[in-house]
Structure 1
């Protein structure tokens, strides 16, 4: 266990540069005292690392030092091949690099792990895009990704759903997220942090105009931001609720716990009257809307129109 932790500590310093004992303790989920002992053990083993005192201090490796550790466990090797998304890499202009990296990784693996990685590729496939949707046209994705990587501001022309439909905005691109086959840009701008669909970017300015590098706040974490964004999105999405009666089949389709073999009464969140109208109509005779009255009246009117259109 300790040997694995020492390797992780070494790789953290190699990949991130200077880190404090508190930061290392948080990453390794151990005490600061344990970090001190581990650092001493690495130094005693000949690893060229040193510590700086003071507010901006921390541990770091001697410049130019790179470990030659290449060992992977079976689970790590499988995960490396399972996590690869060729489609996403192609969109980012990294398809060739990904293929080359996977070849090098396979060549470096022992025979047993190479065989297990091959079985992963044969038996599992990750297909990120959802059903029924054509792939998004993202001609500016590679340029946006380059700006994210280089920490370079962008001036983008963007198409949005509300007026004015087309806007021009200078943003500092913090990161890219691939969600259900669709790319989103997380960026800071004049109105704060915003999320932009990359397929709605109409154009970008000449990169040479915006060549100044910007700094991302030290406390920003892309994963944490995205989790909060999704939670806020869902909270804004369901702004009301409806009281309904459901058959066992309706309850199953709506994900509501059924109360036996008869009808079940439940309150369910709804986005809007218009959206709920379409969603409940899809359940047909397996649902009866009791409240709100406006939604009940809308569905009743639609049913009367359908009955007149399809007389029995």
Structure 2
């Protein structure tokens, strides 16, 4: 019999995180474990309650999710194995029988409310806002009466789980808003490269001196590696001490990426390899011919021949 697998995600049902987990083919039909926060999701993985956890790591409007980045930097034994993109869209929902004209008070999580502020102001100019603990809590609050509101801002997935009337959809102010999620497991060997991969790292600079960050970035630029994310986070032990979260195009099995990681390790022992995994957009990583794998292999073979005393041309 095939072992059933458990996946932790930020719940309850109806969240954007659930929508991300629904994109994982191997998770369908398995056990999904709703949790309250990122720390609980990662603890499930490390302590063996779950095989993997889906967590949000970056938003195209708000930037990096700091709680996730800090957790990945400080909890050893974790590995990112995939990334998934979810369009951040919202709808206005209410209890059955409610019409848009009936709405005077809207329940919404503060972040969701901010991202729908323009639509709400234009459509319901005299409405009042009642803060909710989450997108799901805003919808459940109007159903069970715990929130004094007529309607709620919620993620589209909520209507699959609860009897709600959709008063309006696509109410977000930014049509291009997207949240990036990652699937995290305990440390395993990276899957083989696909040609459309991404490598994530967290790097601490051991000393603060002029050009220290430039030295780090040059490890990638001199090898033709593009960075799609660079974000600083305070280490917390002193003012002015930072670690850097990086996403680099490519795979650790690529010669140029492996060479870059060796360069980083030489001057930054505080480097955390989070994983090499397929890009969500499956976009093939292209680079100039001078950074092809065989160029790095040939250079190493040439150096070995010099050291061995073999004849060279």
Q: Normalized against structure 1, the TM-score is what?
A: 0.20
Structure whose alpha-carbon radius of gyration is higher: 1
Task: Name the one with the larger helix percent.
Answer: 1
Q: Normalized against structure 2, the TM-score is what?
A: 0.20
Q: Which has the higher contact order (CA 8 A, sep 6+)?
A: 2
